[in-house]
């Protein structure tokens, strides 16, 4: 495997490992729907399962339809990320790391969908009674990776 793909594999692999290990710990230690207050008034660990997409998108739809849509979209997204990474020159390693983070996060959530039919979420940030929807390490990696991609677009650093 050449150096270009080695970096991608390491970053994406670390994201998947961190995501799956953190979810396994939460599932093992915390009963479903339980909460551990970490920073009062700001951050809890809350064990929930999200059958939908981001922010619970399609959570109320038919299970078979939901699975087909999320599995199909996830596989298509992974292939698209690989295509973008393949066409990203090594001189744009920061962009490559961002793409690997998105890939690893998408793969981590896809593993949950295959294993459980839904995604384990547990990071719960809030102010007062206003909560951001709970998320996980995979979602965090996707967000950071997309942020890196957007920074490259905004600062005109995209490969030619």
What is the predicted pLDDT for the residue at 20?
A: 98
Phi, psi of 23 (to 5 degrees): -65, -40
Indicate the angle between helix axes 63-86 and 93-116, nearest 10 degrees: 160
**What digits encode the pLDDT tens for the residues 63-104?**
677 777 778 888 999 999 999 999 999 899 999 999 999 999
Residues classed as catalytic = 121, 139
Give me the residue spans of the domains in the chain.
3-27+45-154
What is the predicted pLDDT for the residue at 67?
A: 72
What is the predicted pLDDT for the residue at 160?
A: 64
What is the predicted pLDDT for the residue at 73?
A: 86
**160 or 20: which carries more pLDDT confidence?**
20
77 torsion bin: left (phi>0), alpha (psi -120 to 50), beta (else): alpha
**What digits encode the pLDDT tens for the residues 98-141?**
999 999 999 999 999 889 988 999 999 999 889 999 999 999 99
What is the predicted pLDDT for the residue at 159?
A: 76
Position 158 pLDDT exceeds 80: no
CA distances 130 to 6, 60, 120, 127, 133, Å, are 42, 22, 21, 5, 10
**pTM metric for this prediction:** 0.89
Burial status of residue 64 (CB atoms within 10 A of its CB: 0-12, 13-18, 19 or more): exposed
**What digits encode the pLDDT tens for the residues 5-63?**
999 999 999 999 999 999 999 999 999 999 999 999 999 999 999 886 655 555 555 66
């Amino acid at each position: 495997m050449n150096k270009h793909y080695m970096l991608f594999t390491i970053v994406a692999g670390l994201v998947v490992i961190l995501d799956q290990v953190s979810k396994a710990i939460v599932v093992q230690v915390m009963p479903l729907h339980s909460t551990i207050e970490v920073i009062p008034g700001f951050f809890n660990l809350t064990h929930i399962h999200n059958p939908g997409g981001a922010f619970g998108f399609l959570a109320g739809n038919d299970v078979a339809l939901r699975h087909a849509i999320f599995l199909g979209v996830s596989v298509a997204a992974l292939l698209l990320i690989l295509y973008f990474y393949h066409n990203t020159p090594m001189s744009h390693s920061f962009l490559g790391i961002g793409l690997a983070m998105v890939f690893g996060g998408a793969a981590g959530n896809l593993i949950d969908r295959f294993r459980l039919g839904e995604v384990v979420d547990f990071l719960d940030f809030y102010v007062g009674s206003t909560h951001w929807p709970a998320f996980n390490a995979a979602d965090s990696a996707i967000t950071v990776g997309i942020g890196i991609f957007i920074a490259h677009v905004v600062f005109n650093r995209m490969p030619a």
